[in-house]
Chain A
Amino acid sequence: MEFLLAIITGLLYAAGLYMMLRRSLVKLIIGLIIISNGANLLIFLLGRITKGHPPIIPEGSKVFTEIYADPVPQALILTAIVISFGLQSFAIILIKRAYQVVKTDDLDEMNTIDEDIK
């Protein structure tokens, strides 16, 4: 399971970076989405995967007696997902707007600011 997740995480990072290096704006956003999912999976993977042991202290005892699944990574991922959802929706609006204003989705042609304006 860990091995599979590690490979998937690596693939997601690689694919995300590859997409970000393309010239198209849409591919840039897709790359960002993929890479942030990769980061979420990485947290999940590095938080140790324990199956079938919820972090609930059994009745009658005061501390954990056996191994339990760490709940913190899930809280972290949840937060990260919500944040990246917000950022991505902003990004999609931004590229739509950029396409309307600049009339291209080619990043190489977005250089008016390098010329001296006024």
Chain B
Amino acid sequence: MTEQLLLYPLLFQLLLAILLMFFWTKINVQKVISIVGGFVAVFLSGLLFYEVWTSGTQTVQAASWKAPFGITFVADTLAATLVLLTAISGLAVSFFSSASVIPARLRFGYFPIYHFLLLGLTGAFLTGDIFNLYVWFEIIIISSFVLITLGGEKAQIEGAVKYFTLNILASIIFLTAIAVLYGLAGSLNMADLSVLVPKLENRGLVEVAAILFLVGFGIKSAVFPLYFWLPASYHTPPSAVSAIFGGLLTKVGVYALIRIFSLIFTNDVFLGQILLVIAILTLFSGGVGALVQKNIKKIFSYLIICHIGFMIGGLAMFTKVALVGTIFYLIHDIVLKTNLFMISGLIYRIKGTSNVKLLGDLYDQYPKLSLLMFIPFLSLIGIPPFSGFWPKISLLTAALNTDNYVLLALIIVASLLTLIVIAKLWSEVFWKKGAVLEPRPHFLYFEKMTKAKKVQFILPIVMLAGVTLYIGFGAEHIQQVSERIASELMNKQQYIDAVMPQTE
């Protein structure tokens, strides 16, 4: 019974999605199922995390086919942590969607598709087979296409065309990489590959496969020269959708990069250099991009790009300390970015616009809410003791230890740019005397909502702000988790042994 524990979060999301489809027209029933299901998903993922934490990496061989031949599901600490975070963010966004997404959109199957998206994310974190990873990625992108186009406004469709094209191209490149790797090594199991690939003689082609993976996942995680689709599309769908996209979709690309480059293509100096350059340019261009934007959601989109750079930088250095920083940042970033887009949705609901030039005096009108929003902002900048600060210590130490002074400088510059962006945002949106806005007809303003709906709006933000505070003040625990993950990543034999136990 408990051997299959690691499949429960996965199967449960599938069950939820199917169940929700039976209530296609009954939106209110869907809302209840989605939220209750969200709690159960958190519980199941929590159980999985506890199990992995106490008794080590869990594996399930699908249909009992022995490791290199069948599909393996693996939950090491990294996967279990990310599954838990997916469930937490998923719950918050379920809550937020039920209040913020208009019924006209919900009527076309928003919740079932949303849970298919969560299914894809959970699957991508848990799989131990590279082709299976491709399939989960496809599940993720096809449900995200539906979510991004649901509603069919002009801006949305235009954003969707760009999002769609680049993501499909990324998948095709990923598939090409799998083809090359399979042709070389003749296996698809990641643990098996990590044994086979270092022994291959044709290093040139291995490098080609590695670069193809890098480009494919690079498009998905929006790193430097490949990120242009992200700010062109992330601000177009409803904020609830942007929240789950911003929180998790780019991070699944980062996860895939971490997995591939810590397991299969290890100790490659050339790749390390490329990753380093990418990280530096991502940090810089994301930060500068955020400076000039006027739309709140676009500002946050550029900040996503900027902060991907921290994680790639840690991966590029590939020392234990650097990986601790990367993992800690990943944990902190998922929660935070989800929250930021929900906040942008709240601001839009209050004022009816996302343009910072028109917004203003939010602090005057809603002082308590503003203080609530201040918590994620501080964590984003990384003011101690908030959560963004701790991973940066590890990253800076690692950069010093490995003599990567350019990266060191850029980490500091990117933090500073984030500070400037947030300070500007704060003074424009919260302090400035705003323009007098014409009330929009047929627009449900926040102040006109019923009390229950207001609570539904604010509760997920409070919840994720609470998680962020915990990551900041309970940094000791998160640091422990990150250190364990980092040592697991550095020692890949542990992963291989868990997937393919030696029978002696």
Q: Given contacts A87-B138, A94-B164, A98-B157, is CB(A46)–CB(B172) below 8 Å?
A: no
A110 in contact with B175 (CB, 8 Å): no
How many Å lie between the Cα of A28 and that of B153 in the bound state?
21
A83 in contact with B294 (CB, 8 Å): no
Number of interface residues of B (CB under 8 A): 43
How many Å lie between the Cα of A105 and that of B154 in the bound state?
13
**Which chain A residues lie closer than 8 Å to B182 at the CB level?**
43, 46-47, 72-73, 76
**Which chain B residues lie closer than 8 Å to A73 at the CB level?**
182
In the complex, A5 has a CB within 8 A of chain B: no
A112 in contact with B155 (CB, 8 Å): yes
Judged by DSSP, the binding face of B is helix
Q: Mark B215-240, 1 if CB is under 8 A from A, else 0.
A: 00000000000000000100110000
Q: Given contacts A25-B161, A35-B172, A87-B168, is CB(A79)–CB(B149) below 8 Å?
A: no
B152 in contact with A101 (CB, 8 Å): yes
Q: Given contacts A47-B182, A94-B161, A98-B157, is CB(A118)–CB(B176) below 8 Å?
A: no
How many Å lie between the Cα of A35 and that of B294 in the bound state?
37
B155 in contact with A113 (CB, 8 Å): yes
**Which chain B residues lie closer than 8 Å to A90 at the CB level?**
142, 145-146
In the complex, B427 has a CB within 8 A of chain A: no
How many Å lie between the Cα of A16 and that of B353 in the bound state?
40
A42 in contact with B355 (CB, 8 Å): no
Q: Given contacts A46-B180, A97-B149, is CB(A39)–CB(B175) below 8 Å?
A: yes
Which residues of B, 143-201, contact A by the 8 Å Cβ criterion? 145-146, 149, 152-155, 157-162, 164-165, 168-169, 172, 175-176, 178-180, 182-183, 186, 188
Q: Mark A77-113, 1 if CB is under 8 A from B, else 0.
A: 0011001001100110011011001100001001111
How many Å from the CB of B410 to the closest CB on chain A?
A: 27
Number of interface residues of A (CB under 8 A): 39
**Which chain B residues lie closer than 8 Å to A110 at the CB level?**
158, 161-162
**Which chain A residues lie closer than 8 Å to B397 at the CB level?**
none
A47 in contact with B183 (CB, 8 Å): yes
Closest-by-CB residue of B relative to A103 is B154
In the complex, A117 has a CB within 8 A of chain B: yes
Of A20, A28, A43, A95, most buried by chain B (CB within 10 Å of CB) is A43
Judged by DSSP, the binding face of A is helix
**Which chain B residues lie closer than 8 Å to A112 at the CB level?**
154-155, 158
How many Å lie between the Cα of A71 and that of B154 in the bound state?
46
In the complex, A116 has a CB within 8 A of chain B: yes
**Which chain A residues lie closer than 8 Å to B186 at the CB level?**
70
**Which chain B residues lie closer than 8 Å to A80 at the CB level?**
134, 175
**Which chain A residues lie closer than 8 Å to B141 at the CB level?**
87
Q: Given contacts A32-B165, A47-B182, A87-B138, is CB(A113)–CB(B159) below 8 Å?
A: yes
B188 in contact with A72 (CB, 8 Å): yes
Of B152, B153, B165, B352, the contact of A20 (CB 8 Å cutoff): B165
How many Å lie between the Cα of A86 and that of B143 in the bound state?
11
12 contacts across the A-B interface (CB closer than 8 A): A25-B161, A28-B165, A36-B172, A39-B176, A72-B188, A73-B182, A80-B175, A83-B135, A87-B168, A98-B157, A98-B160, A111-B158
Interface of A toward B, CB cutoff 8 Å: 20, 25, 28, 32, 35-36, 39, 42-43, 45-48, 70, 72-73, 76, 79-80, 83, 86-87, 90-91, 94-95, 97-98, 101-102, 107, 110-114, 116-118
Pairs of residues from A and B, 4 with the lowest C-beta to C-beta distance, nearest first: A46-B183, A43-B179, A110-B158, A42-B179
Known contacts A47-B182, A72-B182, A118-B353, then 9 further A-B pairs from the complex at CB < 8 Å, ordered by chain A residue:
A25-B161, A32-B172, A35-B169, A39-B172, A43-B178, A79-B131, A83-B138, A98-B157, A117-B295
